[in-house]
Amino acid sequence: MKDQLLLSLLVLALYSCSSAPTAPASDVDQENWIDLFNGQDLTNWDIKIAGYPLNENYNETFVVEDSMIRIQYDRYETFDDAFGHMYYKTPYSHYRLQFDYRFVGEQLAGGASWNVRNSGIMLHSQSATSNEFGQGFPVSVELQLLGGLNEGPRTTANVCTPGTAVVMADTVNYTHCISSSSQTYHGDQWVHVEAIVMGGDYMTFIVEGDTVLNFQKPQIGGGFISRERGGKDWDEFQIIKDKEKWIGEEGKILTEGYIALQAESHPIDFKNIKLLDLCGCMDEQATNYRSYYVKNKPESCVY
């Protein structure tokens, strides 16, 4: 009897001396998606339109309506190269991004022919504040969105590379826009897209559940559109003060950056913009450990 009592006390002591309990399995596997758009206003987003000051929403280009972000041109007479981007406040490195988009109506007069049903989301982008006053596009990796024109295939979730380049088949590919294998989506239908972004390692684009494009090592590309044209290429997009810096950083791997919605002269709607941050505490003893993290952030651990 005495031996049984001692054994019971020993077991109790072992349990009481264990480390702090970790989160239940149901919690550590629960994906904590962040709503980048609150459905009501443009809180946490910065606007930069070429030729206008930071956060001047020229002609109400970016508006919220019916739980959507609408990029519209109702107050414009002509586009006049007013390329615009709206940047989420926080840069990310490893994450999954989901959103729905649809093109609507007709292109604004003055937009280029290649911008008909053409828009995008910029990934690993420079910040809104670092854009030159007249800069048309940020240095970034563009998840290009295209709508069908009822005249043959036109893929979406392509990659375009303003000031950047990507690696495909173990070779740096300087082609400005590389097509995906997606279907063509005609009309004003909603299309669901996901991007898996793994820092400077790789990106994967998914459309309606189908993986349509993979590439590796996003990096500074040397030229803005065409590497061969060098500095002249950068000047056309009015990146003047920093062009030598960008040219000098050719080959630098982009490991993180901002996410930005693009305004390129054709009206487009976005909704359900959500992000799953894959960077966090990977210590299983921490209360905020999550099983899906792929990049450790030890300073974020809570015990």
Q: Are 219 and 201 in contact (CB under 8 A)?
A: no
Q: Are 138 and 85 in contact (CB under 8 A)?
A: yes
pLDDT at 244: 84
Mean pLDDT, 10 residues at a time, the chain of 303 residues: 42 35 67 96 97 97 98 97 97 98 97 96 97 93 97 96 96 96 97 98 98 98 78 69 85 98 98 98 96 97 96
Domains of the chain: which residue ranges?
Answer: 34-281
Tokens of 253: 């791997």
Q: Are 120 and 256 in contact (CB under 8 A)?
A: no
N-terminal to C-terminal alpha carbon distance within the chain: 39
Task: Show the DSSP H helices in 148-240 as ranges.
Answer: 231-235
CATH number attached to the domain at 34-281: 2.60.120.560
Q: Are 221 and 163 in contact (CB under 8 A)?
A: yes
The order of strands in the sheet holding 45-49 is: 45-49, 84-88, 258-263, 118-125, 141-146, 158-160, 177-178
Question: Please, which residues have CB within 8 angstroms of residue 41's CB and are 6 or more apart in sequence?
Answer: 64
pLDDT at 253: 98
